[in-house]
Chains A and B, each alone.
Chain A
Amino acid sequence: QSALTQPASVSGSPGQSITISCTGTSSDVGRYNLVSWYQQHPGKAPRLIIYEDNKRPSGISDRFSGSKSGNTASLTISGLQAEDEADYSCCSYAGPTPWVFGGGTKVTVL
């Protein structure tokens, strides 16, 4: 069982918006503004798409956005495209551990 809880799968049609939740606790997600999100295509290494809850690295589309409320962080993909079909994982700083990940969410573009 992963430390952070994500839905196993989320789907949407091209052009739609989808949101993936990532629920932790007051010791990780809720305590630090250090949630990051990674996109992973099959057989490929994870790629950073959001860091520090809501910041995008250079080169990442503004269709990806992050937010947080309490112990739950969220990743929203707007204007869904076929190339967005991938696995998405959240990660949070957790003090002593210090990094915990979610179980991953498979995004399907219908």
Chain B
Amino acid sequence: QVQLQESGPRLVKPSQTLSLTCTVSGGSISSGTYLWSWIRQPAGKGLEWIGRVYNSGFTNYNPSLKSRVTISLDTSKNQFSLKLNSLIAADTAVYYCAREDPVASYFDFWGQGTLVTVSS
């Protein structure tokens, strides 16, 4: 059974950069054709797809966040990471990492989520 776990700071100051890591267990992040995504959910609001990384390292980003986002892969640690810069209060949200099945087109495994608060 594949499991994903987010880690990173819970509180970040405005204008700074958020760095989160997703550790994958139960399967290799570099095998198969799966894609690895970050998704966030502000309190009381809907989910928002942030971006994804292929096992080749190729990335896609949500156009609304593209200028501030970098997602990368570390196959040696079986992890992938999110960096979001120039933080504002509206970036406060629960951040999830998830595995995407590109054939069936769905997110089949999710992390538990981590709440990140942007505040001075």
Which listed residue, A34, A44, A57, A89, touches B46 by the CB 8 Å rule?
A: A89
| Closest residue on chain B to residue A102 by CB atoms | B46
Which listed residue, B45, B96, B105, touches A51 by the CB 8 Å rule?
A: B105
Please tell me if B90 contacts chain A, counting CB pairs below 8 Å.
no
For residue A97, which residues in chain B have a CB less than 8 angstroms away from its CB? 49, 62-63
For residue B80, which residues in chain A have a CB less than 8 angstroms away from its CB? none
Check A101 against B47 for contact (C-beta < 8 Å): yes
- Give the size category of B's interface with A: 20 to 34
Inter-chain CA distance A44–B48, complex, in Å, is 16
> If A102-B46, A103-B46, A104-B46 touch, does A36 touch B106 (CB 8 Å cutoff)?
yes
Interface string of A76-110 (1 = CB under 8 A from B): 00000000000001010100111111111000000
Inter-chain CA distance A2–B111, complex, in Å, is 22
> If A45-B96, A45-B110, A96-B63 touch, does A101 touch B104 (CB 8 Å cutoff)?
no
Check A44 against B112 for contact (C-beta < 8 Å): yes
Check B46 against A52 for contact (C-beta < 8 Å): no
Please tell me if A48 contacts chain B, counting CB pairs below 8 Å.
yes
Separation in Å of the A29 CB from the closest CB of chain B? 13
Separation in Å of the B100 CB from the closest CB of chain A? 8
For residue A6, which residues in chain B have a CB less than 8 angstroms away from its CB? 46
Please tell me if A46 contacts chain B, counting CB pairs below 8 Å.
yes
For residue B45, which residues in chain A have a CB less than 8 angstroms away from its CB? 2, 103-104
Inter-chain CA distance A51–B104, complex, in Å, is 7
Within 8 A of A (CB), among B66-115: 96, 104-108, 110-113
Q: Which residues of B contact A (CB under 8 A)?
A: 37, 39, 45-49, 60, 62-63, 96, 104-108, 110-113
